[in-house]
Amino acid sequence: MLKVLLIAGARPNFMKIAPIYAAMRRRSDIFAPKIVHTGQHYDAAMSDAFFTDLGMPEPDIHLGVGSASHAVQTASIMTAFEPVVIEEKPDWVVVVGDVNSTIACALVAVKLGVKVAHVEAGLRSRDRTMPEEINRILTDAISDLLLTTSQDADQNLKDEGIPNDKIRFVGNVMIDSLMEHLKLADASTSRQDLGIDGREYAVVTLHRPSNVDNAEVLTGILDALTDISLRLPIVFPVHPRTRANIDKFGLADKLAESDIKLIEPLGYLDFMRLYSGAKLVLTDSGGLQEETTVLGIPCLTLRHNTERPITIEMGTNVLVGNDPANIKRAASEALADAKTDTKIPPLWDGHAAERICDELEKAC
């Protein structure tokens, strides 16, 4: 029996942990998984509601770390997680993605001699000003098993000197969650509640400091969105960080005069129902680049780089940065071009979690 601690810290982690946990429960003769929630996202709207939507049980262990600076948060997670590892004595610690919980828990496990598997290994933006990029590089450097979503990620790891025998191309577990829950999301009334059911609309998500912490940059992005909203309404679930800066920079009145509907963050199924019907998605997140690729929805990524270049190669995602003119131009082009030749990347087929379990079992 393999005892596994599955680490969830921030909202993007939950969609990756859920299918792995379910796959392990189906193999209960082999795996004994426990979910560790670090509490990196402490707001129920940003975290706990996702457990319900994803059909996950309450976390077995909740560290309750909360928000802080990168250094304080990472250190707090390490301090709280170390006694858990000592007590549980797991065979594997499985970390996902690139948040502070990922590197913190991986580092604790490695120092205690526990094997670490990194799900979503090898993604690289080449931008070390992004905290997530540092987390990715360091986690991959110390992990025992590197589970990748795409073959370009395999090559990134090889280029960094990672031995081939540590790298396993298993596909994208985020797409497991998407395919599992897309039908369930049909029951959500989020489109009706927002008055957009049966209409064309766009969806925006925005949270990265480079986009929302500078008044001039955020103002420019919102000006571009206001211009796009003249063509179709925009629904904008607002991240708490972004909401605080909209208020801080006095931009709320500007948005009130546009066809941009600011709403609170949605649960997993409600948000899936919302973006899956969108004519256009504008985002600075990672997961939406992947989900819109599979759904064939035009996606404008408001960043200058992406750690998911395969979403551009497949034809649905376009990097536009945060220059207002570029955003407006790319939106016009996307709305005018009804692409039908988009492709789904290899192994983004809804079975990545099973392959992850296969590799963990074989690696023991």
**Does domain 183-336 sit in CATH 3.40.50.2000?**
yes
Which CA distances in Å does 87 have to 37, 82, 246, 338, 358? Answer: 16, 9, 44, 55, 26
Amino acid identity, position 122: G
Read off the pLDDT band of 44 (50, 70, 90).
Answer: low
**Adjacency order of strands within the sheet including 61-62:** 61-62, 31-37, 2-8, 92-96, 115-121, 145-148, 167-169
Angle of CA points 61, 111, 48, to nearest 5°: 20
Residue 309 confidence (pLDDT): 96
CA dist 126 and 123 (Å) reads 9
Which two tokens mark 71?
Answer: 């250094």
Residue 10 confidence (pLDDT): 86
Question: pTM for the full model?
Answer: 0.94
The dihedrals phi and psi of 337, each to the nearest 5 degrees, come to -110, 105
Secondary structure of residue 147 in the 3-state scheme: strand
List the one residue out of 178, 174, 167 whose CA is nearest residue 121.
167
**Taking a C-beta distance cutoff of 8 angstroms, is the pair 292, 281 a contact?**
yes
Instruction: Report the CATH superfamily, name and number, of domain 2-172+348-363.
Output: Glycogen Phosphorylase B; (3.40.50.2000)
Residue 45 has pLDDT above 60, yes or no: no
User: DSSP states of 161-193 as a string?
Assistant: T--GGGEEE---HHHHHHHHHHHHHTT--HHHH
Reported as a single tens digit per residue, the pLDDT across 293-334 is 999 999 999 999 999 999 999 879 999 999 999 999 999 999
**Taking a C-beta distance cutoff of 8 angstroms, is the pair 73, 65 a contact?**
yes
- Say which residue the tokens 């129902």 belong to: 273
Q: Where are the domains of the chain?
A: 2-172+348-363, 183-336
Angle between helices 352-363 and 173-185 (to 10 degrees): 140
CA dist 268 and 273 (Å) reads 9
Read off the pLDDT band of 43 (50, 70, 90).
Answer: low
| Enzyme catalytic residues | 207
Reported as a single tens digit per residue, the pLDDT across 134-184 is 999 999 999 999 999 999 999 999 999 999 999 999 999 999 999 999 999
Mean pLDDT (the chain) is 94
CA dist 250 and 226 (Å) reads 16
Which two tokens mark 331?
Answer: 């939106």
Read off the pLDDT band of 12 (50, 70, 90).
Answer: confident
